[in-house]
């Protein structure tokens, strides 16, 4: 059973609930907000309440799919930021990232009315519906839209402000600064204002004998007070027009009313249903939206916030931003056509697809923008795919390498040695030569087999390179470097590398160079001797012949136990399929185009990388570009 925490943040109270995957509220807690406090204290209380609910329920953090928060005001769902909330006087508060920092669980943030709409859709009056509008008639008029089962929030999550659409041009002033908004006529505040004005003009009205609120106005009508009845008639006329506009615009299955006025139930909704049936476009021939009251009350926000984490999100390709490395042998080529924007000089490597703690890549698009790929996959482990999950950790690291100077002679350990002595993965890798200067090449294994003693002596005498196999390299060449192969990238090469997710490098020889501290860089000779294969390299990359396919050409370059890497040449449109067995990483070597899926697109150009989640399904590549694809 999966669970999530839902938090309904209000100006008065913080309400927190544990919700299961059936959208049943299992446990609830609350405390006063104390809205005059610094936001850091309020968020700390929210996190503490969430953690306490998990502990009291006997749940581990892994049992919790995440923490959803419904906040008043404008919330950016993509960044988890509360942009502005007048209720709690917040501006640009990083709510989502702070909750994640304090709890260790992913957090999703949305407007509280959006969460209430989601709650009513998954567990309340609109359960089973895929197209729902919620209008909350309280101090203001809030709104939430569900279209095809998904929240519609608009750019920067600033949409669905139903209360701030115009009902009467140049009408009553609104709190937003405009005039004639729906909120100025259809909120509970507006009804009370209208009733007070009517009572003042009619001293005989029963409204002068009570404390006026929405219920008192309707009670007065029921008691035969003509003034109260006229106030209700006019209020419902304005509300009916606002609702009819929503129906004509969206034609949802249901339009739910929440907030204080909705407590009038059917005596409110019956006349509204009649009006909409008579006045909506095509009402006598097409489906007419049903108007009803919300049923979950204050629980809607908690359940809806939890649903932000519990509902299976549509998988989308993730455009990634790399981590950069400024090793002393690097150059400046990656800052040109490859579009790398960093002040690092030199720029040696860009870690394009990485969950390694030494340099994780960052998501650039969608709700996880600004978060690391590692964070995303911690929250969505199935998106790695069945084969990747079997490794117990993210298996690959993909990078660009710009070698303006030769790299050190080095070797990487295999899995057995790395696990025993380093508590890490080993490192098998492959290189694709993206650019090569005249005369460039690599050291790749030994010219012939040598003994351990001979290798020790060559290292001590600084003559190791004389024993190594030198392989010229040109653009388009592929080299497969199994763990244990002594190697070095020569100067003048720009390489795309796919490797196991490891940063273990045993340096054997470094040309006597000094590091940034002015001292010779460390060598790891004993470890290198322990893992090195002292022979001519016989590894076959597994490269296959290119195959013409619709939209271009495909060629498998390396097929080994740990990964498969292919080269795609796209001209036009090329169809693809990403199943549940493995994610797929795309690295654009040249040209530009886009990844297309489900009516959406992610633009892609030279130097950029995209992560396709396992289970994405059908997608296509469009444009004119050359790509490397990697999967496990």
Report, as residue numbers or ranges, the catalytic residues: 507
Tokens of 363: 């998501």
Beta bridge partners of 410: 487, 507
Contact indicator for 346, 332 with CB cutoff of 8 Å: yes
Question: What value does the CA radius of gyration of the chain take, rounded to a whole number of Å?
Answer: 32
Neighbours of 632 (CB within 10 A): 24
Tokens of 373: 């790929």
CB neighbour class for 357 (10 Å; exposed up to 12, middle 13-18, buried from 19):
exposed
Contact indicator for 77, 110 with CB cutoff of 8 Å: yes
CB burial of 6-36 (b: ≥16 within 10 Å; e: otherwise) equals bbbbbeeebbbbbbeeebebebbebeebebe
Helices (H), 112-225: 112-123, 183-186, 188-201, 214-222
Place of tokens 């490891």: 502
d(C-alpha 112, C-alpha 25), whole Å: 17
Contact indicator for 191, 238 with CB cutoff of 8 Å: no
Helices (H), 423-534: 452-460, 464-467, 525-531
CB neighbour class for 577 (10 Å; exposed up to 12, middle 13-18, buried from 19):
exposed
| Pairing outcome for strands 290-293 and 254-258 | parallel
CB burial of 359-379 (b: ≥16 within 10 Å; e: otherwise) equals bbbbbbbbbbbbbbbbbbbbb
Neighbours of 582 (CB within 10 A): 23
Beta bridge partners of 255: 133, 291
Tokens of 344: 């690092």
Comparing CA positions, the residue from 193, 245, 202 lying closest to residue 226 is 202
Helix axes 226-250, 266-279, angle to 10 degrees: 50
Comparing CA positions, the residue from 72, 77, 42, 53 lying closest to residue 5 is 53
Helices (H), 501-542: 525-531
H or E segment to which residue 231 belongs: helix 226-250
| 316: phi then psi, degrees, rounded to nearest 5 | -135, 150
């Amino acid at each position: 059973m999966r669970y999530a925490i839902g938090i309904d943040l209000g100006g008065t109270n913080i309400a927190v609930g544990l919700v299961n995957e059936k959208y049943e509220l299992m446990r609830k807690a609350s405390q006063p907000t104390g809205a005059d406090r610094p936001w850091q204290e309020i968020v700390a209380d929210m996190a503490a309440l969430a953690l306490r609910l998990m502990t009291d329920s006997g749940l581990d953090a892994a049992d919790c799919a995440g923490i959803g928060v419904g906040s008043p005001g404008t919330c950016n769902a993509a960044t988890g930021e509360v942009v502005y909330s007048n209720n709690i006087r917040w501006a640009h508060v990083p709510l989502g990232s702070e909750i994640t920092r304090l709890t260790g669980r992913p957090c999703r943030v949305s407007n509280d009315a959006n969460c209430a709409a989601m709650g009513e859709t998954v567990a309340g009056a609109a359960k089973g519906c895929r197209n729902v509008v919620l209008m909350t008639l309280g101090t203001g008029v809030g709104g939430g839209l569900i279209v095809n089962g998904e929240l519609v929030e608009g750019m920067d999550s600033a949409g669905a402000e139903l209360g701030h659409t115009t009902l009467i041009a140049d009408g009553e002033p609104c709190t937003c600064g405009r005039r004639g908004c729906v909120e100025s006529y259809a909120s509970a505040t507006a009804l009370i204002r209208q009733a007070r004005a009517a009572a003042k003009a009619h001293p005989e009205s029963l409204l002068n004998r009570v404390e006026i609120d929405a219920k008192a106005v309707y009670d007065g009508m029921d008691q035969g007070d003509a003034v109260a009845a006229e106030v209700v008639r006019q209020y419902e006329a304005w509300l009916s027009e606002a609702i009819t506009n929503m129906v004509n615009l969206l034609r949802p299955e249901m339009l739910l009313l929440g907030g204080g006025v909705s407590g009038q139930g059917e005596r409110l909704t019956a006349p509204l249903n009649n009006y909409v049936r008579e006045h909506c476009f095509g009402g006598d021939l097409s489906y007419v939206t049903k108007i009803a009251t919300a049923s979950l009350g204050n629980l809607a926000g908690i359940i809806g916030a939890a649903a932000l984490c519990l509902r299976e999100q549509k998988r989308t390709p993730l455009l990634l931003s790399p981590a950069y490395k400024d090793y002393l042998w690097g150059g400046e080529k990656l800052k040109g056509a490859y579009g790398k924007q960093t002040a690092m000089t030199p720029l040696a490597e860009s870690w394009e697809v990485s969950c390694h703690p030494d340099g994780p890549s960052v998501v650039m698009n969608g709700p996880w923008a600004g978060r690391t790929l590692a964070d995303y996959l911690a929250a969505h482990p199935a998106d790695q795919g069945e084969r990747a999950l079997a490794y117990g950790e993210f298996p690959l690291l993909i990078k660009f390498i710009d070698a303006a100077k030769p790299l050190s002679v080095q070797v990487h350990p295999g899995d057995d040695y790395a696990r025993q002595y380093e508590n890490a993965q080993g490192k098998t890798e492959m290189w694709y030569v993206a650019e090569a200067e005249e005369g460039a090449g690599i050291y790749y294994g030994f010219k012939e087999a040598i003994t351990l003693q001979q290798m020790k002596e060559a290292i001590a005498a600084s003559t190791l390179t004389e024993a190594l196999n030198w392989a010229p390299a040109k653009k388009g060449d592929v080299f497969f470097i199994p763990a244990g192969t002594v190697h070095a990238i020569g100067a003048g090469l720009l390489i795309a590398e796919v490797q196991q997710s490891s940063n273990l490098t045993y340096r054997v020889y470094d040309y006597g160079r000094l590091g940034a501290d002015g001292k010779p860089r460390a060598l790891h000779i004993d470890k290198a001797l322990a893992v090195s294969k002292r022979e001519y390299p016989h590894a076959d990359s597994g490269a296959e012949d290119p195959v013409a396919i619709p939209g271009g050409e495909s060629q498998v370059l390396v097929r080994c136990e740990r990964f498969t890497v292919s080269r795609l040449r796209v001209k036009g449109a090329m169809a693809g399929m990403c199943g549940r067995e493995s994610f797929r990483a795309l690295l654009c070597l040249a040209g530009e185009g886009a990844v297309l899926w489900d009516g959406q697109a992610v633009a892609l150009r030279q130097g950029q990388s995209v992560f396709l989640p396992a289970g994405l399904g059908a997608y296509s590549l469009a444009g004119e570009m050359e790509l490397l694809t990697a999967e496990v």
